[in-house]
C-alpha cells in the first residue's frame, strides 16, 4: 500500500506569495519615503514616482490576496475565508497570523484612501497614511513569527535588510529636510539682515 502524497502546490504558492507581498510592500513604502523626503534632490518626475508607489501598493495587495487564497486552498492547515477576515481565527499561531490579517486589512484601507484623498482631505489622508508604518511593522512580525521560512538564513537576511532600508529611509525623512526646502531655508537665511 502506497502512502497518500499531498500536493504541496498551494503551500508553496502561499509561502512564495507571502514573501512577494512583503517585498512589494517594502518597495512601496520605500517609494513613498523617497517621494516625500527626496534624498537625491528634486524628484525628476514626482508623478512617475507617485504612480510607481501606487502600483507597488496594488501589486503588494494582489500578492497578499494570492497568499490568502492559496492558504484557503491548501489543506496543510484548514483556513476559511472568514478566518482571513477575522484576526485570530486561523488555528496556526493565531496571534501572529491575526497580525497579518490586521495588516492586510489596513493595507486595503490605506490603498483605497488614494482615490478618496480629496473627499477625506489631504490632512486626514496624510494621517491615515502614517498607518503604513504600522502595516510594515505588522507584516515583519507576521512573517517572522508565523512564516515557515523564517528559519532560513536568506529569509532572516531579507527581513534584516528590508527593515534596515525602511528604518534608514524613515530616519532620513524625519531628520533631513528635503533638499529643495533646505535650499529655501539656506537662501532665506542668507538674505536675512
Question: What is the residue-averaged pLDDT of the chain?
Answer: 85
Residues 142-164 have pLDDT tens digits of 999 999 899 999 999 999 999 99
Give exposure, 122-146, as e/b (b: 16+ Cβ within 10 Å): eeebeebeebbeebbebbbebbeeb
Instruction: Give the span between the Cα atoms of 84 and 69, in whole angstroms.
Output: 9
The pLDDT confidence band at residue 175, using thresholds 50, 70 and 90, is confident
Q: Is 35 exposed, middle or buried (0-12, 13-18, 19+ CB in 10 A)?
A: middle
The pLDDT confidence band at residue 5, using thresholds 50, 70 and 90, is very low
Instruction: Give the span between the Cα atoms of 19 and 150, in whole angstroms.
Output: 10
Give the residue with greater pLDDT, 101 vs 33. 101
Instruction: Give the span between the Cα atoms of 153 and 139, in whole angstroms.
Output: 18
pLDDT (mean) for 180-190: 45
Instruction: Give the span between the Cα atoms of 17 and 25, in whole angstroms.
Output: 12
Give the residue with greater pLDDT, 45 vs 50. 50
Least Cα distance to 26 among 171, 133, 130 occurs for 133
The pLDDT confidence band at residue 174, using thresholds 50, 70 and 90, is confident
Domain ranges of the chain: 9-191
The pLDDT confidence band at residue 177, using thresholds 50, 70 and 90, is low
Other C-beta atoms closer than 10 Å to the C-beta of 79 total 21
Least confident of 41-45, 60-64, 167-171, 188-192: 188-192
The cell for 144 is 517572522
Residues 50-89 have pLDDT tens digits of 888 899 999 999 999 999 999 999 988 889 999 999 999 9
pLDDT of 182 reads: 43
pTM given for the model = 0.83
The pLDDT confidence band at residue 42, using thresholds 50, 70 and 90, is low
Q: Is 36 exposed, middle or buried (0-12, 13-18, 19+ CB in 10 A)?
A: middle
SS3 95: helix
DSSP state of 3: P
The pLDDT confidence band at residue 49, using thresholds 50, 70 and 90, is confident
Amino acid at each position: 500500500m502506497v502512502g497518500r502524497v499531498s500536493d504541496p502546490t498551494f503551500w508553496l504558492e502561499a509561502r512564495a506569495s507571502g514573501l512577494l507581498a512583503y517585498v512589494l510592500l517594502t518597495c512601496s513604502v520605500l517609494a513613498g519615503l523617497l517621494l516625500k523626503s527626496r534624498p537625491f534632490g528634486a524628484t525628476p518626475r514626482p508623478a512617475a514616482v507617485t504612480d510607481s508607489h501606487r502600483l507597488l501598493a496594488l501589486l503588494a495587495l494582489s500578492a497578499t490576496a494570492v497568499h490568502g487564497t492559496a492558504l484557503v486552498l491548501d489543506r496543510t492547515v484548514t483556513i476559511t475565508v472568514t478566518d482571513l477576515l477575522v484576526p485570530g481565527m486561523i488555528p496556526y499561531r493565531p496571534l501572529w497570523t491575526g497580525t497579518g490579517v490586521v495588516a492586510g486589512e489596513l493595507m486595503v484601507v490605506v490603498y483605497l484612501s488614494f482615490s478618496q484623498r480629496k473627499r477625506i482631505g489631504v490632512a486626514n489622508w496624510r494621517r491615515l497614511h502614517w498607518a503604513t508604518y504600522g502595516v510594515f511593522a505588522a507584516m515583519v512580525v507576521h512573517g517572522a513569527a508565523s512564516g515557515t521560512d523564517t528559519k532560513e538564513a536568506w529569509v532572516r537576511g531579507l527581513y534584516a535588510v528590508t527593515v534596515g532600508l525602511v528604518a534608514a529611509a524613515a530616519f532620513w525623512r524625519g531628520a533631513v529636510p528635503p533638499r529643495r526646502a533646505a535650499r529655501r531655508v539656506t537662501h532665506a537665511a542668507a538674505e536675512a539682515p
